[in-house]
């Protein structure tokens, strides 16, 4: 498979090169040249296939010829080392829980898959180590740290804004050691991200170290997210529920939902996608007005979706050849306030005894909005994080205690370790000295 830059000003590259580069030299996102539907028998027979077998079918054309079959199978089984249950909330409303992985957010799958692919590409190679540099506002850092822990030939440097990530998130970033380094930045998430961008453009660094990023623009983090949609469909087949399937995805950078739309191109029968957002509503506004107008992001209680200019939206536009009318037949988008989100959280708890995190609640709201007009459908919302990751807002909204799952409890007595940096020079010196 070859990948082209969506800016069309760089050469086509292989999967391997696209993963190592992250972004194309012309700063465009990579996009596969061709997406071929799967054999219909695979899709209709999914009820009896393992998650690993389904995922292998889904991803193999994108990796074709660049990772041997046996290695790819092993990467997939290491990535899918936990369950993805479809939980019934009410009649024809389900939550697909994506938070049973090591850091309890759905980003574990993409981070782990990407780490294993890079580990394979770097193994035994004579070139110097690869350094993954990533800025995090919370969930990405933990998933990346965990996914890359112990991967040979790869160093990971994570920048996080001091005092602005939750205690649990900070522990997930700072207690791992080995090839993972956490840098605590005196500043905001935007400052962290600006430093990362500057580092990628820094010629002194380019001479000394090979840098790449691990955010959702990387195809090895983006594409494996399509597995979730197959898992939802598989479980509905097992339940013999054949109503038209609609999926609501809590969206920030729109990588997850875009991967779902790739699954749809592979032939997965999803009738409609709902991109549910918080008040960062650039995409819902675009569908309404036809004008795409990026904005500065606004803080909300579903903070992993506080994005004013979603980086993967260009891939969605590419998927429908930039045809907004075609897009609207398959995709709608709704935005919700924090107040509405908390109200949904209370309703889910009181009426159905289900505790959802703020992101899942936004997904639920989008689903309800769409199903009011389309009641004949079966609706799935993606629950992208465990409620414990947002324990303060969940406990204060529901006036109940959330129990700490094992993955989190064991972090509580580990020692946090990070290096404080004040400005870009601090980052640059750290990279030059330590790597």
Site for ligand PLP, rule CB under 6 A: 105, 107, 139, 216, 250-256, 304-305, 359, 384-385
- Cβ-contact 152, 120 below 8 angstroms: no
**Smallest distance from ligand PLP to CB 7, Å:** 21
Cβ nearer to ligand PLP, comparing 3 with 273: 273
> Torsions phi, psi of 219, nearest 5?
-60, -30
> What's the angle, vertex CA 366, arms to CA 364 and CA 367, rounded to 5?
65
Of 255 and 366, nearer to ligand PLP (C-beta) is 255
Number of Cβ within 10 Å of residue 434's Cβ equals: 11
Question: With respect to ligand PLP, which residue has the nearer C-beta, 179 or 216?
Answer: 216
User: Nearest approach, Cβ of 297 to ligand PLP (angstroms)?
Assistant: 12
Distances (CA, A) of 6 to 23, 252, 393, 425: 10, 20, 39, 32
**Minimum distance between the CB of residue 47 and ligand PLP, rounded to whole angstroms?**
27
Using the minimum distance from each CB to ligand PLP, give the nearer residue, 120 or 381.
381
Rg (CA), the chain: 21
Active-site hit among 27, 107, 234, 350 = 107
The residue written with tokens 């850092």 in the block is: 141
The nearest distance, CB 306 to ligand PLP, in angstroms, is 10
**Beta carbons within 8 Å of 51's beta carbon, 6+ residues apart:** 80, 84, 227, 231, 234
Least gap, CB of 16 to ligand PLP (angstroms): 23
Nearer to ligand PLP, 384 or 397 (CB): 384
Q: Is there a catalytic annotation at residue 107?
A: yes
CA dihedral 380, 360, 32, 310 (to 10 degrees): 140
Which of the residues are catalytic? 107
């Amino acid at each position: 498979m070859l990948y082209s830059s969506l800016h069309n000003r760089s050469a086509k590259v292989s999967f391997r090169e696209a993963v190592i580069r992250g972004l194309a030299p012309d700063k465009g996102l990579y996009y596969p040249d061709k997406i071929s539907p799967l054999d219909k028998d695979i899709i209709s027979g999914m009820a009896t296939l393992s998650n690993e077998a389904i995922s292998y079918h889904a991803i193999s054309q994108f990796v074709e010829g660049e990772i041997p079959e046996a290695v790819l199978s092993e990467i997939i089984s290491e990535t899918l080392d936990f369950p993805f249950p479809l939980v019934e909330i009410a009649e024809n409303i389900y939550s697909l829980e994506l938070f049973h992985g090591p850091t309890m957010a759905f980003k574990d799958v993409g981070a782990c898959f990407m780490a294993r692919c890079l580990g394979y590409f770097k193994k035994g190679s004579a070139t110097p180590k690869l350094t993954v540099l990533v800025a995090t506002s919370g969930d990405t850092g933990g998933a990346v740290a965990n996914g890359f822990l112990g991967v040979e030939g790869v160093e990971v440097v994570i920048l996080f804004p001091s005092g602005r990530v939750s205690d649990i998130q900070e522990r997930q970033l700072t207690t791992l050691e080995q090839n993972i380094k956490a840098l605590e930045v005196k500043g905001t998430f935007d400052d962290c991200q600006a430093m990362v961008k500057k580092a990628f453009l820094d010629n002194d660094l380019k001479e000394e170290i090979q840098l790449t990023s691990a955010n959702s623009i990387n195809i090895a983090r983006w594409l494996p997210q399509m597995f979730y949609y197959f898992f939802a469909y598989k479980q509905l087949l097992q339940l013999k529920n054949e109503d038209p399937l609609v999926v609501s995805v809590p969206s920030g950078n729109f990588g997850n939902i875009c991967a779902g739309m790739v699954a749809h191109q592979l032939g997965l029968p999803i009738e409609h996608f709902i991109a549910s957002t918080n008040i960062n509503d650039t995409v819902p506004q675009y569908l309404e007005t036809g004008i795409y107008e990026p904005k500065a992001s606004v803080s909300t209680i579903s903070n992993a979706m506080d994005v004013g200019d979603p980086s993967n939206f260009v891939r969605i536009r590419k998927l429908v050849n930039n045809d907004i009318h075609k897009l609207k037949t398959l995709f709608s988008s709704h935005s919700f306030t924090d107040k509405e989100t908390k109200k949904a959280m209370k309703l889910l708890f009181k009426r159905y005894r289900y505790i959802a995190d703020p992101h899942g609640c936004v997904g639920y709201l989008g689903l309800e909005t769409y199903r009011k007009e389309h009641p004949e459908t079966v609706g799935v919302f993606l629950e992208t994080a465990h409620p414990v990751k947002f324990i303060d807002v969940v406990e204060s909204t529901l006036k109940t205690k959330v129990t700490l799952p094992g993955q989190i409890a064991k972090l509580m007595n580990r020692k946090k370790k990070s290096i404080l940096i004040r400005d870009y020079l601090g980052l640059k010196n750290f990279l030059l000295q330590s790597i």
